[in-house]
């Protein structure tokens, strides 16, 4: 599938950023992923698909949080980010990385037990399609853990305006109600939610959801 101009632009941006991504965004990553710890610590996650995995920041945290998983597959638009992820993962068993788009996941239906996506949804041009795809690749009763920017708080609304003016590339920052509607429309039932800060103006929302039977 040929990427859209917007997707190609994001991929180009992260290709250039890959080598310094972990240093530049270390504090943001640490603070944002901490919001997911209560849902993942000690959990049995089965086979995991990490959509928009970047440099696979979640992977070492699964071990640190004593989360149990059978396999981990990271997917990202930018092959350069995946190269950094592979280097970090080393020879870890049951770990794979695949280049691809969230709205056209290159996996068979019912391939995974848990889907995770952290700070990626604001890049999705078609979030409805991406969430439907994530549901498709989950096994019956599968789990989705989703984290992204939240537009509702005033610092994030100001940041949204500023980033638009300065040309930062992303599709849309959603409100909490919009995210809930998207999850419901894709066939997920929310069983937990959280909100928090990653420092500065960054405000985030997280959802723990299951595939609706």
Distance from C-alpha of 99 to C-alpha of 123, rounded to nearest angstrom: 16
pLDDT band at residue 20 under the 50/70/90 scheme? confident
Mean pLDDT, all residues of the chain: 92
pLDDT digits (tens, 9 = 90+) for 77-106: 888 989 989 998 988 899 999 999 999 999
More confident residue, 1 or 93: 93
Q: Is 0.85 surpassed by the pTM of this model?
A: yes
The rounded distance, in Å, linking the Cα atoms of 195 and 75 is 25
Q: How confident is the model at residue 22 (pLDDT cuts 50, 70, 90)?
A: confident
CB 204 within 8 A of CB 149: yes
Delineate the domains of the chain, giving CATH numbers in brackets: 5-211 (3.40.50.150)
Confidence of residue 25 (pLDDT cuts 50, 70, 90): confident
Whether residue 61 is predicted with pLDDT greater than 60 in this model: the reply is yes
Q: What element of type H or E holds 137?
A: helix 127-137
Helix 176-185 with 127-137: angle, nearest 10 deg? 50
Helix runs in 67-150, H state only: 79-89, 127-137
Six token digits for residue 14 = 């992260």
Q: How confident is the model at residue 7 (pLDDT cuts 50, 70, 90)?
A: low
**Given this model, what pLDDT does residue 1 score?**
45
Measured torsion, CA atoms of residues 86, 91, 92, 97, in degrees rounded to the nearest 10: 30
DSSP symbol at 167: T
* C-alpha 101 chain-centroid distance: 12
């Amino acid at each position: 599938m040929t990427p859209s101009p917007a997707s190609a632009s994001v991929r180009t941006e992260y290709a250039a950023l890959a080598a310094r991504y972990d240093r530049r965004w270390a504090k943001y990553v640490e603070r944002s992923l901490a919001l997911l710890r209560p849902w993942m610590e000690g959990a049995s996650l089965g086979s995991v698909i990490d959509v928009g995995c970047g440099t696979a920041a979640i992977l070492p945290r699964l071990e640190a949080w004593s989360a149990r998983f059978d396999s981990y597959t990271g997917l990202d638009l930018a092959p350069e980010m995946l190269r950094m992820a592979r280097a970090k993962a080393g020879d870890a068993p049951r770990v794979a990385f695949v280049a691809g788009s969230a709205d056209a996941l290159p996996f068979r239906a019912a391939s995974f037990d848990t889907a995770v996506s952290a700070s990626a949804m604001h890049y999705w041009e078609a979030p409805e399609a991406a969430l439907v795809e994530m549901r498709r690749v989950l096994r019956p009763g599968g789990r989705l853990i989703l984290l992204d920017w939240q537009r509702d708080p005033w610092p994030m609304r100001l940041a949204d305006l500023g980033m638009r003016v300065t040309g930062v590339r992303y599709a849309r920052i959603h409100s909490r109600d919009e995210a809930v509607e998207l999850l419901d429309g894709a066939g997920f039932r929310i069983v937990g939610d959280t909100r928090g800060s990653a420092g500065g103006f960054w405000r985030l929302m997280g959802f723990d959801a299951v595939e609706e039977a």
